[in-house]
Structure 1
Amino acid sequence: MTRRFRVVFPVARGFYDRKITMDGVQHTTEPYTRIDHSNPQHARTVLVDWMLGNACSYACSYCPKALHDGTIRWQKTEDVLTLYHQMKSHYAQERNKLVWLQFTGGEPTMHPRIIDLLKEASALGFRVSLISNASRTVRFWHKIRDYLDSVILTYHNEFATLDHFIDVGQLLVEQMNVHINVTMHPERFERTYDEARALRAALPKATITLKPLRVGFESELYDYSDAQLRILGKGVPSSVRSDGITPRSTMQATTATGACDTLRANDFILQDINRWQGYQCNIGLESLRIKGSGEVLRAVCGVGGRIGQLGGEIALPTQAIQCTKPSCACVADILTTKAKPVTAA
């Protein structure tokens, strides 16, 4: 992996003072003018990040209370199903897009009608994922696994039981793509890294990311040491390449001269090159965000503002939008097509 260190100028203007190669692979130091999906199929996938509510079985110290304190009631089933049918018409039927629902929370498996919501989504031809802490019983996961296309399981060292987490992962990994995010707090780094390696040994078919934490889930990273950053960059590589179906993977970052690098979301974050202010971005065309409150946005970043309300009128987007954020902090938003506008000579 290559780390780039940004100096006074924004990355979008293409100024870097040096690069450090950690894996012997040389990458360009030119600014990237296009960010495209490595897999063209992902460009026609609308990834819907859907927060069903904010109740959670955990209350992690690094997680904002608004994501786990239960202050937002679970969304009404009829409102959810109404938006299902609107997305089916707007994206699938009119634009030949594949709708991929990615339910989150809080802990989405706690929604009282989650099984019904998963069944109906499958019946409409949607792909379905969950972002979950895997805390529900193995019996519960048996009930829902046939309605899932993939899962993202987040291992939270503060609360998770390693053996139970492995049991859930082993149940799912033979049937679908399983990705595991291991949240790496700098104060518990060594122990969590040991547990991540235990997960790798027990679940060789899963993909695993050592997830760097951001203060308040914003853009600023926790205070990691250089040694910890090197470990985060290296990760825990899989000996078996995942061939499961996923809504997103890596991105092809291309410069004006045609040089191209393949990068993960983590690479953009750790190298501090997740900065696309002024670029045209396909949020709303490749993504959608439904907040726990029912507010509908183009993406997690909120660029473009509110486009509707669950249970009310929603104007689903038809065009790309110019990015107004100084940095891109959400993995789902990073993994979206972007292009720097061409300026006249």
Structure 2
Amino acid sequence: MKPVKHDYSSLEKVPPANDLIYVLWTSSGICNQKCTYCHPRFHDGKAHFPPAEKVIHFLKSLLSASPTKRIYLVFSGGEPTLWKEISPFLQYCRDEKRIVVELDSNGSRHLNWWKDHLDCIDFLVLSYHWEFADKERFMDLLDLAGPRIPVHVSILALPEFFDESRQLLDEIHELAPAVSVKAKAVRQNMGPENYPYSTEQTEWLLRNGSRHPRTPIHPPPLDLSKHIVQRSPEGKSKPFNRATASLMRQNKWMGWECDAGIESFNIDVDGTVYRATCRVGGPIGNLHATVQLPTQGIICDKEDCICLDDIWISKRQPPSD
């Protein structure tokens, strides 16, 4: 396989994120919103939440194998707040000082639920889905959570809701100054292609597709979008914007060596564990059985690096023959 060429030779994580193991856990196929652009397996209810002890065992094995590293756990879904064991699980993560918890949610739970759990969440990422969101409740949650913990909002800017997305972004800027917010291009069927956007819409997404530069009251514990650089063969580095690379279709590293399985793991709704969201190299185990942790990186065999989480993994162009 011929490696893709870029004007840089590597993507590298930099402090304070260079000691992180990134774990994206898609916790179940249970969700109270069934968005048209979301794959049914993430909301059809067929895949249930695993027992908490299975997830905790895996996290403990990662920490034991990498005693100098921390885990950045993205607790996603489905809708993770529907898990009956979420309270003791979040408490375990809070007590384990080497785990940073990012909870990804649609924000639909009652405010009383959030009042009881915010102190165990390091970073709350809320997605606004136009087909189901309750705007008043969503804004109430921002008022509650924003002053207490780092909060970020991703507005899913479907083309048919594009004007509304612009208005909502402005409203959040004005009414919820404690949080950061971005508008996000939506992928068709969660594949490599975005929904069709006009040139003007694409330009607006480029301007508003990264976290708003305003400093929130509580900055994220680690803003992963900022802690990656591209490095030239001469050793010069400059910031690398994952969202821009994805939107402009510059997210291609086939033939490069990728540290998936060293810096990252993906846990699917059925408990299957992969090196990354792209599933390069196939499964390495299952929460309900055993997991074989890799000891080295892997050569990318994917045409596109679709997921922003995978773009963040360190990558190196192999030496020329």
2:35 aligned to 53, 60, 66, which one? 60
Q: Which one of 122, 137, 143 corresponds to residue 164 of structure 1?
A: 137
Q: Shift of residue 303 of structure 1? A: 0.5
In structure 2, the CA distance between the partners of 1:295 and 1:247, relative to structure 1 (3 Å rule), is: farther
CA contact (8 A) 1:100 1:247 kept: no
User: Structure 1 residue 232: deviation in Å?
Assistant: 0.2
Contact 1:47 1:247 in 2 (8 A): no
Deviation, structure 1 residue 258 = 4.9
| 1:12 pairs with 2:1 | no
- Amino acid aligned to 1:13: K
Q: Secondary structure at the match of 1:256?
A: coil
- Give the superposition deviation at 1:11: 9.7
- Unpaired stretches in structure 1, ≥5 consecutive residues: 1-9, 15-30
State the match for 2:80 in structure 1. 108
Counterpart among 109, 116, 121 of residue 93 in structure 2: 121
1:112 partner letter: K
Number of residue pairs matched by the alignment: 315
Which AA in structure 2 matches 1:212? A
SS at match of 1:12: coil
Query: Aligned AA for 1:35?
Result: L
* Alignment equivalent of 2:279, drawn from 302, 307, 311: 302
Q: Which amino acid in 1 is paired with 2:155?
A: V
- Work out the CA distance in 1 between the residues paired with 2:16 and 2:162: 36
Q: Aligned ranges for residues 247-326 of structure 1 at < 5 Å? A: 248-250=224-226, 251-258=228-235, 260-326=237-303
CA spacing shift, 1:12–1:260, aligned 2, 3 Å: farther
Could you tell me the TM-score, scaled by structure 1's length? 0.86
How much does 1:35 deviate?
Answer: 1.1
Q: CA deviation at 1:127?
A: 1.3
Q: Which of 11, 24, 32 is the equivalent residue of 1:35? A: 11
CA deviations on 1:310-332 (whole Å, 9 max, x unpaired) are 12111112211111111101111
Which residue in 1 is equivalent to 2:69?
97
| Residues 1:333 and 2:310 aligned together | yes
Alignment partner, residue 243 of structure 1: 219
Cα contact 2:4–2:256 (8 A) shared by 1? no
Bigger shift: 162-171 or 264-273? 162-171
Greater shift, 162-171 or 328-337, is seen at 162-171
The unaligned stretches of length 5 or more in structure 2 are: none
Aligned-partner residue type, residue 74 of structure 1: F
CA distance 1:308–1:45, change in 2 (3 Å): same
Equivalent residues of 1:205, 1:238 under 8 A apart: no
Secondary structure of the corresponding residue to residue 31 of structure 2: coil
Q: Deviations over 1:131-185 (max 9, x none)?
A: 1000011111111111111011111111112221122122222232212111011
